[in-house]
Amino acid sequence: MKKLFALVLALALAISLMPTALAEENVLKYGVDADAAGGFDPHTISAVASMRMIGQMYNTLVDVDEDLNVIPELATSWEQPDDVTYIFHLAENVTFHSGRAMTAEDVKYSFERILDPEVGALGNSSSYAGDIDTVEVVDPYTVKITLKNINAPFLANLSSSYCSIVDKDVVEANDGSLLLADGGTGPYTLGEWVPDNSVTVKAFDNYFDEAGKATFDAIEFYVLTDASARLAALRTGAVDLISADTAMLDLVENDDSIQTVSYQSRNYTGLFLNVNRAPFDNPLVRQAINLALDREEIIEFAFNGKATISGFVPASLGHWAVDVTENEYYTQNIEKAKSLLAEAGYPDGFETNIIVGLLDSIRDTGLVVEQQLAEIGIKVNVQDVERGQYLDAWNGHDFDIMVCQNGAGSDPSRAVAFFFKTGSSANIQDYSNARVDELCELAVATTDTAKREEYYKEATNIILDDCIVAIVASPQEYFLASTALQGFAPNASNANNFAGVTLAK
């Protein structure tokens, strides 16, 4: 009997010790709304869902902080002997996930890959690295980049994942594609991708930057497309963090085990009017549409109140932003809108189509606009289209009114020139204003920030007064997390930054 008792005791002791011996795995489980699309090649993948992993796997020469300051990443410092020459001094302790040390040769190779027309890299445009003329290796840790022409936002644009530094050997070993391979230097390496289920990235022990080192053994991204399933997974502790939409927020208000994390995005949602199509070619009609909108009501309905009234250069772009609350077209005035319509020759209004799609907030915006424009006699047919059709309308510039959510980027060269300069690929309205074009050219050709600000603000005001768009709001982005998650502070420059983030036991 005594022996048996001793045995039981010994067993119990052993069992009670075992869990600590096995140690709870230190893994962050992150429930995401969409699967990585196509893979993880930083140079050819534009899908936001893939960027979540790419951001952990790759580094760029420089980064941009929350306040849009350019900060060191792979380059510890840089100098600009003249307006078109940049000399980068690289960190000397950077290793690729393959174990090979990163040198200036790799930087040269990476930009050559981006500029290679056969690769079809997304960074091969003047919004990113497209203006590069030559990349020279000065010494193993110094690289000199010369541009074809002055490109003021060049440095900030290098922070895009499209300009990631990649491992030549890995690219070559995978027939030129990094879609399913990992040629990065980031804090995490690509683990397993089970399409439509999960992606795992694993800690990289030799990460060069102590502060940015992986705090988890792995991050597991789980594809939970269904919003209620995603929330249930968080509630039960199956995942620690989820991407959230504003509709979820009320549901977790009284839940003490769940915290809400948010940041002000640099995106904006609004109406794009086809200025080359009647009746939108008439400025009076465009003004009337702007005046007919009650932006507060749209925010309440389409964003559950979690957005701020904004122009196409949102306030989160800091000193570049133009305050739109003072703009005469931002305050609803039905009477004036009606009289402008009458003046334009449409006393009884007209009928038009509005294309929505992609996001719930875009669809809901369309629905509220339908009601609001009805008040001034404009009958709107809301066409909720599938992704492919939406992109066709975008690329083909084929719409009357289109509701879009665009990213303003980190510099007005994106927010203003990319969307509104004549001939720019994202100018879906085929808008053309000689002065705006001139200002955009001037602004990109000088590195004087004060001058640039002046040029862009003038251009912004011209576009606002032309009323070619009716921008509504800049939304907040949300995450929901277990209260055990600590130190997670995403911002618009880096929405998936897990440096220093931990899970309390």
Partner 1 sequence: MRDYIIRRLLMLIPILIGVSIAIFVIMQLIPGDVVSGILGIEETPELRAMWEAKLGLDKPLVEQYFSWIGKAVTGDFGESFRTGEPVFPEIMKRFKISAELALLACVIAWIIALPLGILSSLKRNSVIDRIVRVVALLGVSVPNFASATLLILFFSKAFNYYSPVKYVGLFENFGTNMEIMILPAFILGSVMAGSVMRMTRSSMLEVLRQDYIKAVRAKGAPERVTIFRHAFKNSSIPIVTLIGMQIGGLMGGTVVIEQIFSIPGLGQYTLTGISQRDFPVVQGCVLFIAFVYVIVNLLVDILYTYIDPRISYS
- Which residues sit at the interface with partner 1, rule CB under 8 A? 29, 31, 35, 37-39, 44, 46-47, 117-118, 120, 122, 124-125, 127, 162, 177, 179-180, 194-198, 220, 222-226, 228-229, 232-233, 235-239, 385-392, 394-395, 406-407, 425-426
Q: Which sign does the torsion angle of CA 239, 241, 246, 252 carry? A: positive
Determine contact, residues 52/194, Cβ cutoff 8 Å: no
CA distances from 340 to 283, 334, 504 (A): 9, 10, 60
Q: How far is the CB of 498 from partner 1 (least distance, A)?
A: 18
Task: Provide long-range contacts, Cβ within 8 A and 24+ apart, for 227-230.
Answer: 227/33, 230/31, 230/33
User: How far apart are CB 237 and partner 1 at their closest, in Å?
Assistant: 8
User: Between residues 29 and 97, which has the closer beta carbon with respect to partner 1?
Assistant: 29
CA distance 3 to 11: 12
State which residue, 397 or 451, has the beta carbon closest to partner 1: 397
Name the minimum Å distance from CB 233 to partner 1: 5
Nearer to partner 1, 80 or 197 (CB): 197
Q: How far apart are CA 2 and CA 77, in angstroms?
A: 72
Least Å distance between CB 197 and partner 1?
4
**Both tokens assigned to 375:** 């008040």
Q: Which of 83, 137, 86 shows the shortest CA–CA distance to 110?
A: 137
Are the beta carbons of 246 and 456 closer than 8 angstroms? no
- Return d(Cα 90, Cα 497) in angstroms, integer: 22
Measured from the CB atom, is 33 or 375 closer to partner 1?
Answer: 33
For residues 74 and 119, which CB has a smaller minimum distance to partner 1 in the complex?
A: 119
Question: Tokens in use for 339?
Answer: 């009289």
**CB of residue 385 to partner 1, shortest distance in Å:** 8
Q: What is the amino acid identity at position 87?
A: I
Min CB(396)–partner 1 separation in Å: 9
- Encoded tokens for 352: 């038009």
Please list, residue by residue across 419-440, b when 16 or more beta carbons sit within 10 angstroms of its beta carbon and e when fewer do: bbbeebebbbbebebeebbebb
Structure tokens at 50: 């893939």
| Cβ at position 139, least distance to partner 1 in Å | 34
337 or 477: whose CB is closer to partner 1?
Answer: 477
Please give the backbone phi and psi of residue 206, each rounded to the nearest 5 degrees, phi first: -100, 30
Phi, psi of 491 (to 5 degrees): -140, 175
Least CB distance from residue 398 to partner 1, whole Å? 10
The number of C-alpha atoms within 13 Å of 12 and in the hemisphere containing its C-beta is 6
What's the closest the beta carbon of residue 199 comes to partner 1, in angstroms?
11
The minimum distance between CB 333 and partner 1, in angstroms, equals 33
Nearer to partner 1, 128 or 498 (CB): 128
Most distant CA pair in the chain: distance in Å?
Answer: 103
Residue number with CB closer to partner 1 (201 or 337): 201
CA dihedral 31, 33, 36, 37 (to 10 degrees): 170
Q: Which CB, 3 or 387, lies closer to partner 1?
A: 387
96 or 390: CB nearest partner 1: 390
